[in-house]
Structure 1
Amino acid sequence: LYPTHPYGTQSTIGTQEHLKNPSITNIKNYFHRYYVPNNTAICMAGDFDPDKVIAQIDKYFGSWKKSDNLSYPQYAPVKELTAPRDTTVIGQEAAFLMMGWNFPGAASAQVDTLNVIDNILSNGKAGLFDLNVNQKMKCQYAQSLVGGMNEYSQFMLYGQPMPGQTLKDVRDIMLAEIEKLKKGEFSNDLLPSVINNLKLGYNTSLESNEWRANEFVDAFINGEKWEDKVNYINRISKITKKDIMAFAQKHFGNNYAIVYKEEGVDNSQKKIDKPQITAIPSNRDLQSKFVTEIINSKVDPIQPRFVDFNKDLTKGTTKKGLPVLYVKNNTNDLFVLSMRYNFGKESNKWLSVAKDYLDYLGTNKMTAEQLKQEYYKLACDYNISVSNDEIYVSLSGLSENMAKAVALTDNFMQNAKVDKEAYNLWVESELKARQDNKKNQESNFRTLTAYGIYGDYNSRRNNPSSEELKSCNPQQLTDLIKSLNGYKHELLYYGPMELNQFTAAIDKCHKTPKTLNNVPEGKPYTKQLTQKNEILIAPYKAKNIYMTQYHNGGKQYDPKNAPLNAMFNEYFGGGMNTVVFQELREARGLAYSAWAGYYTPEKKNEPEYFCTNIISQNDKMMDCVRTFNS
Structure 2
Amino acid sequence: MKLKSIVTACIVAATATTIQAKDYKYESVKGDMMQTRIYTLDNGLKVYMSVNNEKPRIQTYIAVRTGSRNDPAETTGLAHYLEHIMFKGTKKFGTSNYDAEAPYLKQIEELYEVYRKMTDPEERKACYHKIDSISQLAAKYNIPNEYDKLMSSIGASGTNAYTSNDVTCYTENIPSNEMENWAKIQSDRFQNMVIRGFHTELEAVYEEFNISLTKDSRKMWAAMFSKLYPNHPYGTQTTIGTQEHLKNPSIVNIKNYFNRYYVPNNTAICMAGDFDPDKAIAIIDKYFGSWKKSDNLSYPQYAPVPDRTTPTDTTVIGQEAENIVLGWKLDGAGTMQNDTLQLVASMLANGKAGLFDLDVNQKMTCQYASAFTYDLNEYTGFILYGTPNKGQTLDEVKRIMLDEVEKFKRGEFDENLLTSVVNNMKLDEYTSMESNDNRADKFVQAFINGVEWEKEVTKLDRISKMTKKELVDFANRHFRNNYVTVYKRTGEDHTQKKIDKPQITAIPANRDLQSSFVTEIINTKPEPIRPVFLDFDKDLDRYKSKKGIPVYYIRNKENGRFTLSYFFDFGEESDKWLPFAAQYFDYLGTDKLTPEQLKQKFYSLACNFSVNVGTGTMGISLSGLDENMPEAMRLMENVLANAKVDKEAWDKYVQTELKGRRDSKLSQNSNFRALMQYGMYGPYNSLRNVPDSVSLTNRNPQELIDMIAGLTKYEHDIRYYGPTDAKKLLAIINKEHKTPKKLLPKPENREYTEQLTEKNEIWLAPYKAKNINMIQFNNSGRRWNPEREPVASLFNEYFGGGMNTVVFQELRESRALAYSASAYYSTPSRKNHPEWSYTYIISQNDKMMDCINTFNSILDTVPQSEKAFELSKQALEKRIASRRVTKGAIFNAYFQARRLGLDYDINEKIYKALPEIKLADVVRFEQETMARQPRRYLILGDEENLDIKALEKIAPVRRIPTSEIFGY
Query: For this structure pair, what is the TM-score category when the shorter chain's length is used for normalisation?
Result: over 0.9
Q: Does 2:108 correspond to 1:108?
A: no
Q: Secondary structure at the match of 1:41?
A: strand
- List per-residue Cα deviations over 1:225-246 (Å, max 9, x = no partner): 0000111110100011001100
For residue 135 of structure 1, report the CA deviation from its aligned partner.
Answer: 0.8
- List per-residue Cα deviations over 1:42-96 (Å, max 9, x = no partner): 1111111223322332333232221222111111111111111210001111000
Q: Does 2:627 correspond to 1:400?
A: yes
Q: How does 1:500-519 map to 2 (within 5 A)?
A: 500-519=727-746
For residue 434 of structure 1, report the CA deviation from its aligned partner.
Answer: 0.2
CA contact 2:825–2:836 (8 Å) conserved in 1: yes
* Corresponding residue for residue 148 of structure 1: 375
* Corresponding residue for residue 544 of structure 2: 317
Q: Does 2:492 correspond to 1:250?
A: no
* Corresponding residue for residue 357 of structure 2: 130
Return the alpha-carbon distance in structure 2 between the equivalents of residues 237 and 15 of structure 1. Answer: 44
State the TM-score, normalized to the length of structure 1: 0.98
* Corresponding residue for residue 446 of structure 1: 673
CA contact 1:322–1:490 (8 Å) conserved in 2: yes
* Corresponding residue for residue 130 of structure 2: none
Q: Secondary structure at the match of 1:363?
A: coil
For residue 279 of structure 1, report the CA deviation from its aligned partner.
Answer: 2.9
For residue 271 of structure 1, report the CA deviation from its aligned partner.
Answer: 3.3
- List per-residue Cα deviations over 1:373-406 (Å, max 9, x = no partner): 0000110011111001111111111111111111
For residue 20 of structure 1, report the CA deviation from its aligned partner.
Answer: 2.4
* Corresponding residue for residue 17 of structure 1: 244
* Corresponding residue for residue 766 of structure 2: 539
Q: Secondary structure at the match of 1:312?
A: coil
Q: How does 1:28-107 map to 2 (within 5 A)?
A: 28-107=255-334
CA contact 2:499–2:770 (8 Å) conserved in 1: no
Q: How does 1:466-615 map to 2 (within 5 A)?
A: 466-615=693-842
Q: Does 2:646 correspond to 1:422?
A: no
CA contact 1:354–1:480 (8 Å) conserved in 2: yes
CA contact 2:355–2:404 (8 Å) conserved in 1: yes
Return the alpha-carbon distance in structure 1 between the equivalents of residues 629 and 572 of structure 2. Answer: 28
CA contact 2:501–2:847 (8 Å) conserved in 1: no
CA contact 1:447–1:460 (8 Å) conserved in 2: yes
Residue from 321, 325, 345 that aligns with 1:118: 345
For residue 339 of structure 1, report the CA deviation from its aligned partner.
Answer: 0.8
Residue from 601, 614, 618 that aligns with 1:391: 618
Structure number with higher relative contact order (C-alpha < 8 Å, ≥ 6 residues apart): 2
| Cα separation, partners in 2 of 1:548 and 1:526, compared to 1, 3 Å | same
CA contact 1:594–1:613 (8 Å) conserved in 2: yes
CA contact 1:557–1:605 (8 Å) conserved in 2: yes
Divergent runs of 4+, >6 A: none
CA contact 1:404–1:509 (8 Å) conserved in 2: no
* Corresponding residue for residue 208 of structure 1: 435
* Corresponding residue for residue 464 of structure 1: 691
CA contact 1:414–1:481 (8 Å) conserved in 2: no
For residue 270 of structure 1, report the CA deviation from its aligned partner.
Answer: 3.2
CA contact 1:114–1:155 (8 Å) conserved in 2: yes
User: 370-379 vs 277-286, which deviates more?
Assistant: 277-286
For residue 560 of structure 1, report the CA deviation from its aligned partner.
Answer: 2.4
Q: Secondary structure at the match of 1:198?
A: helix
Amino acid at match of 1:432: K
Return the alpha-carbon distance in structure 2 between the equivalents of residues 12 and 167 of structure 1. Answer: 28
For residue 272 of structure 1, report the CA deviation from its aligned partner.
Answer: 4.8
Alignment root-mean-square deviation, CA:
1.2
* Corresponding residue for residue 363 of structure 1: 590
Give the count of matched residue pairs: 630
CA contact 1:20–1:275 (8 Å) conserved in 2: no
Return the alpha-carbon distance in structure 1 between the equivalents of residues 655 and 297 of structure 2. Answer: 57
Show structure 1 runs of 5+ residues with no match.
none
For residue 146 of structure 1, report the CA deviation from its aligned partner.
Answer: 1.0
Return the alpha-carbon distance in structure 1 between the equivalents of residues 447 and 333 of structure 2. Answer: 11
Q: Secondary structure at the match of 2:663?
A: helix
Q: Does 2:854 correspond to 1:627?
A: yes
Residue from 445, 467, 480 that aligns with 1:218: 445
* Corresponding residue for residue 176 of structure 1: 403
Amino acid at match of 2:467: T
Amino acid at match of 1:323: P
* Corresponding residue for residue 63 of structure 2: none
CA contact 2:755–2:779 (8 Å) conserved in 1: yes
For residue 617 of structure 1, report the CA deviation from its aligned partner.
Answer: 1.0
* Corresponding residue for residue 377 of structure 1: 604
Return the alpha-carbon distance in structure 2 between the equivalents of residues 159 and 73 of structure 1. Answer: 35
* Corresponding residue for residue 328 of structure 1: 555
CA contact 2:263–2:293 (8 Å) conserved in 1: yes
Return the alpha-carbon distance in structure 2 between the equivalents of residues 39 and 549 of structure 1. Answer: 45
* Corresponding residue for residue 260 of structure 1: 487
For residue 32 of structure 1, report the CA deviation from its aligned partner.
Answer: 1.5
Return the alpha-carbon distance in structure 1 between the equivalents of residues 607 and 654 of structure 2. Answer: 28
Q: Secondary structure at the match of 1:366?
A: coil
Q: Does 2:638 correspond to 1:411?
A: yes
* Corresponding residue for residue 436 of structure 1: 663
Return the alpha-carbon distance in structure 1 between the equivalents of residues 598 and 485 of structure 2. Answer: 34
Return the alpha-carbon distance in structure 1 between the equivalents of residues 240 and 502 of structure 2. Answer: 16
For residue 39 of structure 1, report the CA deviation from its aligned partner.
Answer: 0.9
For residue 483 of structure 1, report the CA deviation from its aligned partner.
Answer: 0.7
* Corresponding residue for residue 196 of structure 1: 423
For residue 415 of structure 1, report the CA deviation from its aligned partner.
Answer: 1.3
